[in-house]
Chains A and B, each alone.
Chain A
Amino acid sequence: MHNFSLNIKHIGLFALLGLPLLAMAETPEEKGLAIAIEADKRDTGWQDQTASLEMVLRNRHGQESKRNIRTKTLEVDGDGDKALSIFDSPRDIKGTAFLSYTHALVPDEQWLYLPALKRVKRISSNNKSGPFMGSEFSYEDLSSQEVEKYSYKYIRTEEIDGREAFVIERKPAYKYSGYTRLTTWMDTEMYQPLKIEFYDRKKALLKTLTYSGYQQYEGQFWRPASMSVVNHLTKKSTDLHWKDYRFKTGLTDRDFDRNSLKRAR
């Protein structure tokens, strides 16, 4: 949070002085951070978001299994978002709901609702690197991307699949992260990621995540239609297909409290 406000101030100062930002002698770290701040700024103001997603898990033999999840997210100023996920399938876990208050540098607060027992369980959230629903995504990959979660370094600008992208190296600031480094290709127009390579704690390339089918909503917010991650060690992969994005639906804190878990549908 400190870094963030400091840099906003700097940018404001530069603007006041009428100095074009990019003309300044900028270190790769400053440029990387500036891109992250710009991406964050452009994706601010959506207030709340609902969407449904289909998750397709594929093992090394190509066998598939599917999960259907609905998500509700509330934008929180100056902190990580609040998120509620409701599972529709597999059918044996239908009605299971997962509530998290995400934070950048301290552990999230997480509750799980188990419908068969009618039990709300507070769960340990230190570990954000574990697999999400047996998929190749981790909790860390799917939680809100706050500027303070990483340190940044701009590498170069290059073309990827016909789009121009900043290549940025990020290092997680969170000590329980499952990664040592992420290389991100950030679209220079949308300020959204096109591809991310994840390096594990042994500094080996673990996974590659690619984004596709971006569409703009509310005239501002870009969201992908699909996200696909391949694990290079296990050869397993997971595709996420997003549907029915809606913004500013009027959700409040009340839709993200422990009571809301018990009646989530």
Chain B
Amino acid sequence: MLTRTSLSVLSAALFCIPVFSDAGEWSGYVSGEFRAFANSPADPRQHDNNFSLSIQPEYYTDWDNGRQSFTVVPFVRWDENDNERSHADIRELTWLKAADTWELRAGIRKVFWGVTESQHLVDIINQTDLVEATDGEEKLGQPMINLALIRDWGTLDLFVLPGFRERTFPGEKGRLRFSPRIDTEQTIYESDDKEQHIDYAARWAHYLGDWDIGLSYFSGTSRDPRFGFGQDNKGQPVLIPIYDLIEQWGLDLQATLGDWLWKFEAINRSGQVDRSGQDKSYTALTAGFEYTFIGIADSNADLGVISEVLYDERGDDALTPFADDILLASRLTLNDEQSTEFLLGMIFDSDDAARLLTLESSRRFGDNWRITLEGQAFINIPNVNTELLVGVRRDSYLQLEIARYF
């Protein structure tokens, strides 16, 4: 996955650093991760328990009274078994200029849009680094020029996005993958420019009292591939990612009313071909709330209750397994000096008995260490090849991660 582009960008970045090294500062982390799986793999080529190491240093420097800055964040992972998961990326390599009424950013960056917890429909700038985490929360760095206009009526962000990043997928030996495996050597693009197609995006964001609102537009290559059936060079069946050209409108809304957070995200997308092969525009949404019980049982701990509805108009033809689902989750924040947190959530499919159980918990040790325990359980996933999650039905896992921050 260490492409020629990212290598040359990395060497350019490393070359730049000594120039600034007097003024700047380094930070980042090194992390070791161990995954234990509940079952033997569905495919005998896949591994059992797995060990992996990653490092993400960050260099930052600013000048011009803090009005200009340069940030570079490379990321490298080594994985014991999966060659596709051993990969490197430039998460960030950005120059920023901030003025009174505008901010200009050029380089590689990560941008997040949205408010909901279960899925991030509106968030479209960055490609998902799926080998990193199955929840889709980890993203690849996206080359961009971003001008933010900052006015009384809110912030208008304009994006030019040259260079498309393909989604990463676990390799043949990797767990938590589709079945059959995905062959990124044969990727198909709707655009003749392929990954050189230039995408555009814009977002207006503002807040009015208790309400935070964002309205966004994207035109370009979809970050979500659909899949075609094919064969690799050994004649084995594979899935081939196909990236359509799409247009998407997005709305995200949050009302912060006392101990209630009310959340809503909706998109309308056209140009994306669905699983039945139809190119129909569709609407999808996530809506729900988070309510927090403050200081439960006379302690400092807060208990949050989260519920969200996930809906996709395409139903079974959707490219996501979350077409008509409900999330129930609970977040326990101890507010202690180690910042101990637990999040336990379950997504219920309303059509069948399929369930996705997720645990995320973490706690600091000393001043510089953090231990994270995560896991996912895939429950009652039907063993039929029309089921999107069929490849992970035997991949319920627990993951222990220990990170040293510097």
Task: State whether the Cβ of B379 lies closer than 8 Å to any Cβ in chain A.
Answer: no
The answer on a CB contact under 8 Å between B405 and A259 is no
- Interchain CA distance A130-B337 in the complex, whole Å: 13
The answer on a CB contact under 8 Å between B155 and A90 is no
Chain A residues near B54: list those with CB within 8 A: none
**A107 and B258 in contact (CB under 8 A), knowing A93-B339, A130-B294?**
yes
**A254 and B150 in contact (CB under 8 A), knowing A91-B27, A122-B256, A134-B338?**
yes
The answer on a CB contact under 8 Å between B111 and A263 is no
* Chain B: interface residue total (CB-CB under 8 A): 46
What's the minimum C-beta distance from B258 to chain A, rounded to whole angstroms?
Answer: 5
Does more than half of chain A's interface fall in helix, strand or loop, or is it mixed?
Answer: loop
* Chain A residue at minimal CB-CB distance from B290: A124
* Chain B residue at minimal CB-CB distance from A200: B298
User: Of B150, B260, B368, which is within 8 A of A90 by CB?
Assistant: B368
The answer on a CB contact under 8 Å between B405 and A91 is yes
Chain B residues near A59: list those with CB within 8 A: 337
- Interchain CA distance A92-B370 in the complex, whole Å: 7
Task: State whether the Cβ of A123 lies closer than 8 Å to any Cβ in chain B.
Answer: yes
* Chain A: interface residue total (CB-CB under 8 A): 37
Interface string of A128-150 (1 = CB under 8 A from B): 01110111000000000000000
The answer on a CB contact under 8 Å between A130 and B302 is yes
Instruction: Pick out which of these stretches binds chain A: B34-42, B95-103, B241-249.
Output: B95-103
Chain A residues near B367: list those with CB within 8 A: 65-66, 89-91
User: Of A89, A95, A121, A265, which is within 8 A of B62 by CB?
Assistant: A265
Interface string of B389-406 (1 = CB under 8 A from A): 000000000000001011
* Chain A residue at minimal CB-CB distance from B105: A263
- Interchain CA distance A120-B406 in the complex, whole Å: 23
- Interchain CA distance A14-B258 in the complex, whole Å: 42
Chain B residues near A259: list those with CB within 8 A: 98, 103, 148, 150, 155
Chain B residues near A135: list those with CB within 8 A: 337
Chain B residues near A122: list those with CB within 8 A: 115, 207, 212, 254, 256, 261
- Interchain CA distance A217-B337 in the complex, whole Å: 33
- Interchain CA distance A118-B155 in the complex, whole Å: 17
The answer on a CB contact under 8 Å between B256 and A92 is no
- Interchain CA distance A127-B24 in the complex, whole Å: 38
The answer on a CB contact under 8 Å between A129 and B295 is yes
- Within 84-123 of B, Cβ neighbours of A (below 8 Å) are at 96, 98, 100, 103, 110-112, 115
What's the minimum C-beta distance from A230 to chain B, rounded to whole angstroms?
Answer: 15
User: Of B137, B335, B403, which is within 8 A of A117 by CB?
Assistant: B137
* Chain B residue at minimal CB-CB distance from A114: B112
Interface residues of A (CB under 8 A from B): 57, 59, 65-66, 89-95, 107, 109, 117-127, 129-131, 133-135, 252, 254, 257-259, 263, 265
Interface residues of B (CB under 8 A from A): 27, 29, 60, 62, 66, 69, 96, 98, 100, 103, 110-112, 115, 137, 148, 150, 155, 205, 207, 212, 254, 256, 258-261, 292, 294-295, 300, 302, 335-339, 364, 366-370, 403, 405-406
